[in-house]
């Protein structure tokens, strides 16, 4: 037990909760608070930083405890921009003792011959841990409401009440104080982002988002934790897709709605590539993927985009996982690294897989799309629901008619069936995404032609190819193609401004086909 009479506390001691040590009799004496520290805490609180507000609350608790235990609380020293140095210089001059929970402050003070009381970071069971069970995905706390939890798995969950009691602002502040203090002793923990009114913390496996006034209308804490960690094998992917991911996919986009399991799949894919002997790195904001030490995780919040760009270009990973791509800088970095030859796996929010591709269109030229994106994987309810591949070709786009309108077209295909579902092309100055299976004008005209022909020749076949409609008539039924039917076809051709070609197909006895003249008139 310390009997030092004058104790000068620093910020780490306030955040550790020095008032608890006083109440337990671990330390005693008059408490000194340097004016430089008070000024810094005031500025941080006005800037909306959480640690400043919590430290000021602790000073208030110390003053309340002082009235019960009869010790003084005094503000000392002159203002200085370097708070820790000012605290050490005051204690060296006056002979008082520094109370700290900061390992570096302790070491430097001891080097200078200053008396130090070191508060070992306490490791009590966190309140938030009691709110989770094996099925809990997230916990949602807000002042003046009942605490709730989301239980289940991605795509299949429900909200449940954790208590019948309303959570107060003081309850939430106590939990937040625990979280901030725990960062120092829980492995893989740090404050990822701190802004005015919001703080994002990674605490072990927990990702914690804290908001408070003026950003939100009250104190709110959202705590998420991965419920499941899956390997790629557990997704039961088709061999064709596994082969694609292994040998050909280098511009991968993982899309899906929030909470559907995109990041879980990205983790599985990252580990899969690592097991193949590839060098894998991630860019995250915040870092909430749980990966082996062999995979380096970079935080976008602790580096400029240009710095990450340089690091990745110089270190040359085989694959980079870019989690939570949102703004122009994110997409530009993805594009630059992909064009430099680095395999990229991007994670984006999208309600449909085509929406994810839309987000790239305004940011890159049409001709570079297949080189940047080659595989789009859509995740829903924790599983792979759709896979698209992208390929470039030159053709007359669906919905256009003249052969001289041929142009570069990006075909978006269902990877499993190899069926073209969308086409991307430039028309005028606008980039179009046209559904291939639902091109209204094309399908309507095709059905009209088919209806006209099949009234006379039921075995005829009508299809749209390369900007024209082709009627294929079995050779043994060519006699049914008369002047009246030909006139009907030419009227359709003139009315809709289209081109219709008549060809001979195999007859019922298997004769080889032979092309007929466009204007044949039997």
- Stretch 190-196: mean pLDDT: 85
Q: What torsion do the CA atoms of 185, 84, 98, 62 make, to the nearest 10 degrees? A: -80
- Stretch 32-36: mean pLDDT: 97
Q: What is the mean pLDDT of the chain?
A: 87
pLDDT per position as a tens digit, 366-395: 889 999 999 999 999 889 999 999 999 988
Q: How confident is the model at residue 512 (pLDDT cuts 50, 70, 90)?
A: very low
Burial class (CB within 10 angstroms; exposed 0-12, middle 13-18, buried 19+) of 328:
exposed
pLDDT at position 155 is: 66
For residue 84 the two structure tokens come to 């820790």
pLDDT at position 2 is: 40
447/463 Cα distance (integer angstroms): 9
pLDDT at position 314 is: 92
11/54 Cα distance (integer angstroms): 10
Least reliable range by pLDDT among 66-80, 181-195, 221-235, 425-439: 425-439
- How distant is the alpha carbon of residue 16 from its chain centre? 33
106/114 Cα distance (integer angstroms): 9
**Cβ distance 485 to 456 under 8 Å?**
yes
For residue 369 the two structure tokens come to 């799309």
β-pairing verdict for 206-211 and 198-203: antiparallel
**Cβ distance 443 to 429 under 8 Å?**
no
Strands (DSSP E) contained in 235-309 are 251-256, 280-284, 296-299
β-pairing verdict for 375-380 and 156-161: unpaired
pLDDT at position 510 is: 47
Q: What is the pTM of this model?
A: 0.67
pLDDT per position as a tens digit, 117-175: 999 876 667 889 999 988 898 999 999 999 999 998 766 788 999 999 999 999 999 89
The larger pLDDT score, comparing residue 286 to residue 206, is at: 206
Q: Match 């511009």 to its residue by tokens.
A: 251
Burial class (CB within 10 angstroms; exposed 0-12, middle 13-18, buried 19+) of 291:
buried
449/445 Cα distance (integer angstroms): 6
Q: Match 């609350």 to its residue by tokens.
A: 57
470/332 Cα distance (integer angstroms): 44
pLDDT per position as a tens digit, 317-337: 999 999 989 899 999 999 999
- Taking Cα atoms as reference points, which of 357, 480, 345 lies closest to residue 422? 357
For residue 26 the two structure tokens come to 């671990």
Half-sphere exposure of 240 (CA within 13 A, CB side): 9
Which residues are within 8 A (CB) of 34 and not within 5 positions of it... i.e. 6 or more apart?
A: 8, 75, 76, 77, 83, 86, 87, 90
254/25 Cα distance (integer angstroms): 56
pLDDT at position 312 is: 94
- Stretch 34-44: mean pLDDT: 95
Q: How confident is the model at residue 462 (pLDDT cuts 50, 70, 90)?
A: confident
Question: Per-residue pLDDT for 30 more than 90?
Answer: yes
First to last CA, the chain: 114
């Amino acid at each position: 037990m310390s009997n030092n009479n004058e104790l000068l506390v620093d910020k780490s001691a306030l955040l550790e909760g020095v008032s608890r040590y006083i109440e337990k009799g671990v330390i005693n004496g008059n408490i000194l608070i340097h004016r430089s520290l008070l000024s810094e805490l005031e500025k941080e609180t006005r800037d909306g930083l959480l640690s400043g507000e919590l430290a000021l609350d602790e000073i208030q608790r110390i003053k309340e405890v002082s009235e019960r235990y009869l010790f003084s609380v005094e503000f000392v020293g002159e203002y200085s921009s370097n708070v820790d140095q000012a605290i050490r210089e005051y204690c060296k001059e006056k002979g008082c003792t520094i109370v700290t929970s900061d390992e570096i402050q302790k070491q430097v003070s001891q080097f200078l011959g200053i008396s130090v009381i070191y508060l070992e970071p306490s490791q009590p069971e966190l309140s938030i841990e009691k709110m989770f069970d094996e099925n809990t995905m997230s916990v949602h706390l807000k002042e003046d409401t009942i605490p709730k939890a989301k239980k289940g798995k991605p795509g299949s969950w429900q909200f449940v009440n954790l208590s019948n009691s309303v959570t107060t602002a003081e309850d939430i502040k106590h939990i937040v104080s625990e979280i901030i203090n725990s960062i120092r002793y829980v492995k893989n923990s740090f404050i990822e982002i701190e802004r005015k009114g919001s703080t994002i913390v990674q605490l072990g496996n927990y990702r914690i988002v804290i908001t408070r006034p003026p950003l939100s209308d009250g104190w709110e804490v959202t705590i998420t934790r991965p419920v499941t960690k899956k390997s790629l094998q557990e997704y039961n992917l088709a061999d064709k897709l596994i082969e694609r991911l292994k040998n050909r996919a280098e511009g991968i986009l993982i899309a899906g709605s929030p909470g559907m399991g995109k990041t879980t799949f990205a983790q599985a894919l990252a580990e899969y590539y690592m097991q193949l002997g590839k060098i894998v790195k991630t860019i995250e904001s915040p870092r909430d993927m749980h990966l082996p030490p062999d995979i380096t995780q970079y935080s976008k919040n602790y580096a400029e985009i240009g710095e990450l760009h340089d690091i990745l270009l110089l270190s040359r990973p085989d694959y980079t996982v870019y989690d939570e791509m949102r703004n122009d800088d994110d997409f530009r970095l993805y594009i630059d690294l992909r064009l430099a030859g680095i395999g990229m796996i991007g994670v984006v929010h999208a309600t449909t897989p085509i929406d994810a591709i839309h987000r790239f269109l305004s940011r890159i030229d049409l001709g570079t799309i297949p080189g940047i994106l080659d595989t789009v994987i859509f995740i829903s309810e924790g599983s792979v629901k759709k896979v698209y591949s992208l390929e470039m070709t030159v053709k007359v786009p669906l919905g256009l008619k003249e052969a001289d309108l041929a142009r570069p077209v990006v075909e978006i295909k269902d990877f499993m069936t190899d069926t073209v579902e969308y086409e991307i092309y430039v028309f005028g100055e606008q980039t179009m995404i046209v559904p291939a299976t639902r091109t209204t004008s094309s399908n309507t005209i095709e059905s009209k032609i088919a209806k006209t022909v099949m009234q006379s020749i039921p075995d005829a076949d009508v299809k749209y190819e390369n900007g024209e409609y082709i009627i294929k008539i079995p050779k043994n039924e060519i006699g049914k193609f008369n002047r009246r039917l030909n006139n009907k076809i030419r009227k359709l051709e003139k009315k809709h401004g289209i081109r219709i070609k008549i060809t001979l197909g195999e007859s019922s006895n298997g004769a080889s086909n032979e092309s007929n003249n466009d204007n044949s008139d039997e």
